[in-house]
Amino acid sequence: MIGGDGGVREVPVPAGVGEIASLAPVSGAGRPVWLVLGADGTIGRWDMAAGVFEPVAATTLATESDREPWTGHRCRRQLHASGDGMFAAVVNDYGRYGEVIDLRTGRTTLTLDNQGGHEETVPFSLAFARRAGRDVVVHRTDRNRLDVSDARTGALLTGPADEQARPEHGYFHGALRMSPDGMRVLDDGWVWHPVGIPTVWDLAGLSESAVREPEGGPGRVPLCGRAYYWDRPMAWIDSTRVAVAGLGDDEEVMRPGARIFDTTRTAQDDPWCPTTAVELASFEGPSGQFFSDGTHLFSGGDADGAAGLSAWDPATGRLHGVVPGFFPAQHHPGAGQFVEIAGDAVRVWTV
């Protein structure tokens, strides 16, 4: 067992929620506060410690259910929460549409459309961030383009003027993950071969008058290239280091494990990218979803073979312990809580 409170406990799903479609942590809260998306479209705020659930809004987003699954990835609604829990986004992963909702009013402030372009190959690119004292949304507006909008007003902050000034490239943006300090974005996208190339870029230096994509400026660094391999587990360890799942450079030879990169330094030793982040370590073992508490790498395991939630030293690859039979899909960084959805209950383990 890994330290912590000593065991996994079950918490009943609040009355009125029904089936949970998606959970998102309110990461700025120091207690286990979550946003919950019900299968019926209801969005609620759930304080697990207090046992309080409050419906606050509802989504009108259609599910795009007529889409054919791509390599087993079925189009599904996914919930995202701003750090302060005042805004939610509901998007169709492996689909085209989404929306941002002000949870104080229940009003949709921004309708999202990624314009298609192999959108079935990636989760909908979206992340909340804080900038100049307000909540902003980074979101895909074309296959190879990201923009930043004000979450409250829906106003575009990256500026549509002079489209000729925008860079043109063949990168298909994937899932986005904000660094713990909110300054950088990890983008799990791919380029034509196809090759998955997870990339980190700076959000902090973006000016509101910018007429470029936010990821087009200085600070952009690819981590590695893997043929036919993207949309895989990865996580920030801290605001410098990133853990990426998979050992190898091609899907056909990939082995379970983790690679750790220093995103502030670059090297020239990857067959797919002329310049990449420096690889600090690689080790076999981690599988399933990746999470971190700023010190450890946690892997969520695989119900078909792995033991359960495991904690690893990202510098040495040493396994510190396992929570057997526990396979969480979500982590609340502020509360140190891991959650697995299990029908009419959730299973919870806390560091």
Sequential pLDDT tens for the chain (351 residues)? 565 555 999 999 988 888 999 999 998 878 999 999 999 999 999 999 999 999 999 999 998 988 888 888 899 999 999 999 999 999 999 999 999 999 999 999 999 999 998 999 999 999 999 988 999 999 999 988 899 999 999 999 886 545 555 555 688 999 999 999 999 999 999 998 899 999 999 987 655 555 455 666 668 899 999 999 999 999 999 999 999 999 999 999 999 999 999 999 999 878 888 899 999 999 999 999 999 999 999 999 875 555 899 999 999 999 999 999 999 999 999 999 999 999 899 999 998
**Domains of the chain (ranges, CATH numbers):** 9-350 (2.130.10.10)
CB-CB contact of 137 with 163 (8 Å): no
Do the strands 297-299 and 290-292 form a parallel or antiparallel pair, or are they unpaired?
antiparallel
CA distance 235 to 175: 11
pTM of the model: 0.93
CB-CB contact of 94 with 122 (8 Å): yes
Q: Which two tokens stand for residue 76?
A: 């599904």
CA distance 56 to 46: 10
Q: Which amino acid is at 201?
A: W
Dihedral over Cα of 50, 55, 58, 64: its sign: positive
CB-CB contact of 251 with 223 (8 Å): no
Reported as half-sphere exposure (CB side, CA atoms, 13 A), residue 331 has a value of: 18
Q: Which two tokens stand for residue 56?
A: 């606050």
Q: Which two tokens stand for residue 28?
A: 């700025």
Q: Which amino acid is at 101?
A: I
Q: In what order do the strands lie in the sheet with 255-267?
A: 234-236, 241-247, 255-267, 276-284
